[in-house]
Amino acid sequence: MFKSIGAVFAGMLCIIFLSIGTDYALEKLGVFPQSDEHPFVTWMLLLAFVYRTLYGVLGGYVTATFAPVYPLRHAIILGITGTIVSILGLVKSWDMSSHWYPIAIIITALPSTWLGGKWKTNQIKK
């Protein structure tokens, strides 16, 4: 059981650290405004959506890699967890001008981690 929890946690950490790290790097490079300014425009949100979705795929892959059994099931659990956390993020950021971004993150949380888990399980089968 601890290995299963650890596998999901590893995928979660992968997604969180890569997302925060990329946000930080883009802020430091001047691509994104500082996090306290929030004048995000559509292309910035679209860029963040793309890399966060890719990190979701990678997180699902990492989770499936460390899963002791049923790697795809573990990636799905990660996706469900991400969906729940994303719903909480939507509630917190509802006053944001663009509602499509947090809704898109909710919609893609599970499919992206599933895809990463599927990617890993296909490699295992070969």
Q: Given this model, what pLDDT does residue 1 score? A: 85
Rounded distance between C-alpha atoms, residue 54 and residue 109, angstroms: 10
Residue written as tokens 């890399």?
A: 51
pLDDT of residue 34: 76
Per the rule left: phi > 0, alpha: psi between -120 and 50, beta: everything else, 38 is: left
User: Residue 82's closest CA among 58, 47, 118?
Assistant: 58
Query: What is the mean pLDDT for each group of 10 consecutive residues in the chain (126 residues)?
Result: 93 96 91 72 88 97 94 96 94 80 93 96 80
* Closest CA relative to residue 72, chosen from 9, 3, 1, 8: 8
Q: Is 25 helix (H, G, I), strand (E, B) or coil?
A: helix
List the end-to-end C-alpha distance of the chain, in Å, as a whole number: 27
Handedness of CA 21, 26, 28, 32 (dihedral sign): negative
Cα–Cα distance between 74 and 72 in angstroms, integer? 5
What's the token pair of residue 107? 């919609």
Residue ranges of the domains in the chain? 2-125
